[in-house]
Amino acid sequence: MKIPFSPPYIDEAVINEVVDSLRSGWITSGPKVKALEEEIKVFSNAKEVLCVNSWTSGAIMMLRWLGVTAEDEVIVPAYTYSATALAVLHAGAKPVMVDSGEDFNISVDAIQKAITPRTKAIIPVDIAGFPCDYDRIMRLVNEPEIRNLFQAASFVQEKLGRILVMNDAAHSLGAYYSKNQRTGCETDIAIFSLHAVKNVTTAEGGAICLNLPEPFDNAELYKELRMMSLNCQTKDAFSKSKAGGWRYDIVGLGMKINMADVNAAIGLAQIREYPELLKERKRVFNTYSKAFADCDWVILPPSEDGEKESSYHIYALRIKDFTEEQRDRMIDEIAKSEVAVNVHFIPMPMLSFFSSLGYDIKNYPQAYENFKGEISLPIYPQLDEEKLDFIIKAVKDAYLKVTVDR
């Protein structure tokens, strides 16, 4: 039985929505993008939502809007996908990597130790869809001594008056931070990924959630950023296509990162079904946890803590006391059953590019500890009981094979 790792969820509703876009005669940014923004806005309770062509480009744009320079620092976890730090570099600032906690997420204590007068932003990451401790992070950036340390170097920074918190919510669309609050509205900015492997996808895409405090006007900021995502052009293509609407101006240095309607159509159909799809992802997650609960060689991934609840994006199983080499051998054994698994993530200091910049995994011991025994199992609504039983058996058999052979 072949089990892929993360196929997209494409049903007739998705196909019909895309066909509707194709038949409309308008396939780039237009009414379906706006409709998707509204759906995500309602779902997340964000003040405003702007859809763009990827999480990465959205993060770059927001950091440029913040006004970071080569002298500025942005705190990121060492344990995340590379885009978190690459966005900082593309925006022209320096990523300051800090260690993780045992729940995979960024250590707030490590954040506090890393803050300097050059710190302009913090980008926590909701690894696997489990929210970070945003109460502590937001309290931290608002502490008088931290605010006094902050040195604004742009108009936006002066207006905010403190370190910006931008949640890398790539995994966590649908997660709950508290009983009545989903991710997307608990920090200044949150950015969801709508990439092909995400819970809700537009094939490629991202959604920027704006929740800036006063005196910012998030509705006005949405208009500014929407224009910025279209090369700072005063009219989008949809408006220019109307009779007599050809004249436009370029009013700044923007980026070309808008989302197209034909992409938004996929996400629009999916997010309307998302509450049910989330229940199915939770079913798969809980089936794994129940099956592995009695295995003393397993560390189960976090899913709920008080009022916090995961989006069940990744099932990040960890094998106790395994070396990196043993974990890799176990993955090879699982692959013999034609079950596709993955690893989330290789810590950034272990990647050649970041290593060449001077980052050293020895400085992030918990990140490495989380990584060396981690195996991500398939988790998506299409997995029925038979397939789940097959995956669970493949994992248990692989563990036995590796431990017997050692």
Q: 108 φ, ψ to 5°?
A: -70, -35
Exposed, middle or buried: residue 274 (CB in 10 Å: 0-12, 13-18, 19+)?
buried
Model-level pTM greater than 0.85? yes
Instruction: Give CA–CA dist 6/196, Å, rounded.
Output: 9
Residues counted in the chain = 406
Q: Do residues 248 and 240 lie in contact, with contact meaning Cβ atoms separated by under 8 Å?
A: yes
Residues 161-178, mean pLDDT to the nearest whole number: 97
Helix, strand or coil for residue 260? coil
In this prediction, residue 236 has a pLDDT band, given cuts at 50, 70 and 90, of: confident
Closest CA to 141 of 114, 110, 165: 165
Lowest mean pLDDT among 115-129, 241-255, 329-343: 241-255
Looking at residue 280, what is its pLDDT? 98
HSE value, Cβ hemisphere, 13 Å, CA-based, for 239: 9
Q: Is the pLDDT at 406 greater than 60, yes or no?
A: no
C-alpha 177, offset from chain centre? 15
Cα-to-chain-centroid distance, residue 75: 16
- What pLDDT is stored for residue 317 in this prediction? 98
| % the chain with pLDDT above 90 | 94
> 3-state DSSP call for residue 125?
strand
Looking at residue 240, its pLDDT comes to 66
Beta strands in 214-357 (DSSP E): 298-299, 304-305, 308-309, 315-319
Distance, in Å, from the CA atom of 313 to the CA atom of 199, rounded to the nearest integer, reads: 6
Mean pLDDT of the 222-238 span = 91
Q: Is the dihedral of CA 131, 378, 40, 253 positive or negative?
A: positive
Note the pLDDT tens digit of each residue in 7-47.
999 999 999 999 999 999 999 999 999 999 999 999 999 99
Vertex 81 angle, CA 288 and 301, to 5°: 20
Instruction: Give residue limits of the domains in the chain.
Output: 12-265, 275-404
SS3 192: strand
| CA atoms of 248 and 229, how far apart (whole Å) | 15
Looking at 3.30.160.20, 3.40.1440.60, 3.40.640.10, 3.40.50.300, the CATH number of the domain 12-265 comes to 3.40.640.10
CA dihedral 344, 5, 87, 77 (to 10 degrees): -20
Kindly report the backbone phi and psi dihedral angles of residue 401, in degrees, each rounded to the nearest multiple of 5, phi listed first: -60, -45
Q: What is the mean pLDDT of residues 251-261?
A: 95
pLDDT band of residue 404 (cuts 50, 70, 90) is confident
For residues 142 and 115, give the distance between their C-alpha atoms in angstroms, rounded to a whole number: 13
- For the cut 90, the answer to whether the pLDDT of residue 98 exceeds it is yes
**Domains 12-265 and 275-404 fall in the same CATH topology:** no
Q: In the predicted model, what is the mean pLDDT of residues 346-374?
A: 98
198 is catalytic: yes
Out of 198, 282, 308, 372, which one is annotated catalytic?
A: 198
* Span 143-157, pLDDT tens digits: 999 999 999 999 999
Residue 178 burial (CB < 10 Å; 0-12/13-18/19+)? middle
Residue 125: phi and psi, rounded to 5, are: -125, 130
User: Mean pLDDT in the chain?
Assistant: 96
pLDDT tens digits for range 282-338 = 999 999 999 999 999 999 999 999 999 999 999 999 999 999 999 999 999 999 999
Question: 125 near 77, Cβ under 8 Å?
Answer: yes
* Bond from prior residue into 95 cis (ω within 30 degrees of 0): no
The residue type found at 309 is E
Across the range 175-199, mean pLDDT stands at: 95
CATH 3.90.1150.10 assigned to domain 275-404? The reply is yes
Give the rounded percent of residues in the chain with a pLDDT score beyond 70. 98
Binning pLDDT at 50, 70 and 90, where does residue 405 land? low
Instruction: Write out the two tokens for 325.
Output: 């080499």
Alpha-carbon distance values, 35 to 30, 104, 288 (Å): 9, 34, 35
The pLDDT confidence band at residue 217, using thresholds 50, 70 and 90, is very high
Written as one letter, the residue type at 138 is: M
| pLDDT tier, 246 (very low <50, low <70, confident <90, very high otherwise) | confident
